[in-house]
Amino acid sequence: MMTPKELGKWAKTVGINAPTLDTGLACWVKNATPEERKQYHVEWWEGWYEALDEFISFQRPHSEARSAA
């Protein structure tokens, strides 16, 4: 099973922009305590933003090459 952070990274790549829309995360939070739910959401967003950073860093060299041409 994927961790909440891994779910967040995956969600970014498939266009899910909110943890409440991620059914994978729902499996984690349904039986969790309120404190665990909060932690899972934090981890999900960490993964989501990590994937965003990777996407931006991958796109930057391509856009710079197009600008130079």
Residue pLDDT tens, the chain, 69 long:
899 999 999 999 999 999 999 999 999 999 999 999 999 999 999 999 999 999 998 877 666 666 655
Give residue 6's Cα distance to chain centre.
7
Closest CA to 8 of 37, 34, 40: 40
* pLDDT in the model for residue 14: 95
Copy the structure tokens of residue 46: 């960490």
What is d(CA 7, CA 40) in angstroms, rounded to the nearest whole number? 10
